[in-house]
Amino acid sequence: MTPTHPDLASVRDALAAQLNEAGVRGSVHAIDIDTGIEIGLDADNPVITASVFKVLVLVELCRQYTTGQRTPTDRISLASDDRRTIGGTGLSAMLDDVELSLRDLSFLMMSVSDNRATDVIVDLLGYDAINETIKRFGLEHTTVLTDCAGLFATMDKDLGMPMEVLAAAAAVSPLSAQQREQLRSIRAANPELTDCTTPREMTTMLAAIWRDEVIGEEASAEVRRIMGQQAWPHRLTSGFPSSDVKVSGKTGTLIFARSEVGVVEFPDGGRFAVGVFLREPTEDLRNPDADRVIGTVARLAVDYLRESQAERFDDK
């Protein structure tokens, strides 16, 4: 019997329906790392990276290991008041002096999205080096313009007040329509004015790294190792709960934006790079429905890629 492959248009309609049901707009891209077969929904739309930009920082750091510019065991010492960047995890939340390896610093940057660790690494690498390596992957719409502290500084300046003040007010009562519109207009919320990418460009980079391309085998292996240790299971991983499916990813969260990019690896050898970027109608940082729909649409996209190549996996 000739196998029945899923209809691409129907799957794309299903992706859109899931996003609509969750009350969000979204851009999605998924690609089979080994065959190049892909599926997308507004996959070339520019999006803000939020903390997804930390993947780009990690890629350049690991590249510099292989050139001898850095070594994973380089010691990083920070006094309690050095390079403070706000954040609720990792070194951002720690109060005392600390010393650790550069490798462990990158682990904190990725596993718990440590903003302070990120900014220390960005200082070491420099924006020119990070963006030059982005270009090596052929990415034309991906740029790192600022680190975490710089991002927060633009938010405070554009709002005319510390973001913490507005957040405290929102915790007491809903923001007004005027306040929401002001939030939507700040640089940090607009991909033309801040760190940006597209879903397709992020999956392009991840697919290349999982094939040991562009930055080489050793650097790629370290990127994969670190990305495989992310602590958050509530987005991409929620769509792939089976313990024999490996998910390596990085989340991003900012006002009106929620995302995750990563790679899903099955025990039969299937490998798929996925990027899901959401645009939300409210400023709430907690939105379980939006978190879950990232996993849901990622699963729909990956299932399509697997089912459309059923013969490839049936023999394994």
- DSSP codes joined into one string, 172-213: HSPPPHHHHHHHHHSGGG-TTSSSEE-HHHHHHHHHHHHTT-
| 169 located within any domain | yes
pLDDT (tens digit per residue) in 186-243: 999 999 999 999 999 999 999 999 999 999 999 999 999 999 999 988 999 999 999 9
CATH code for the domain of 288 = 3.40.710.10
| 31 located within any domain | yes
112: left (phi over 0), alpha (psi -120 to 50) or beta: alpha
| 2 located within any domain | no
Measure the CA–CA gap between 205 and 203, rounded to whole angstroms: 5
> Are 75 and 99 spatial neighbours (Cβ–Cβ below 8 Å)?
yes
Angle at 33 between CA 29 and CA 37, to 5 degrees: 60
Angle at 302 between CA 299 and CA 304, to 5 degrees: 110
Q: Tokens 């009106």 appear where?
A: 256
| 264 located within any domain | yes
Q: Tens digit of pLDDT per residue, the chain (316 long)?
A: 344 567 889 999 999 999 999 999 999 999 999 999 999 999 999 999 999 999 999 999 999 999 999 999 999 999 999 999 999 899 999 999 999 999 999 999 999 999 999 999 999 999 999 999 999 999 999 999 999 999 999 999 998 888 888 777 777 888 888 888 888 899 999 999 999 999 999 999 999 999 999 999 999 999 999 999 999 889 999 999 999 999 999 999 998 899 999 999 999 999 999 999 999 877 777 889 999 999 999 999 999 999 998 777 765 5
| 1 located within any domain | no
Measure the CA–CA gap between 235 and 294, rounded to whole angstroms: 5
| 131 located within any domain | yes
| 3 located within any domain | no
Query: Cβ neighbours of residue 202 under 8 Å, at least 6 residues apart?
Result: 29, 52, 55, 142, 261, 273, 275
Give residue 2's pLDDT: 42
Residue 288 tokens read as 């379980």
Q: How many domains does the chain have?
A: 1
Residue 69 tokens read as 């510019």
Measure the CA–CA gap between 148 and 82, rounded to whole angstroms: 15
The maximal CA–CA distance of the chain, rounded, in angstroms, is 68
Residue 7 tokens read as 């209809």
Q: What is the pTM of this model?
A: 0.94
Distances (CA, A) of 110 to 27, 190, 227: 22, 23, 7
What's the full length of the chain, in residues?
Answer: 316
pLDDT (tens digit per residue) in 278-306: 998 777 778 899 999 999 999 999 999 99
Strands (E), the chain: 25-32, 38-41, 47-48, 75-78, 98-101, 196-197, 246-254, 257-265, 271-279
Angle at 108 between CA 67 and CA 263, to 5 degrees: 75
Range of the domain at 29: 8-314
Residue 159 tokens read as 């709002």
| 153 located within any domain | yes
Measure the CA–CA gap between 213 and 219, rounded to whole angstroms: 10
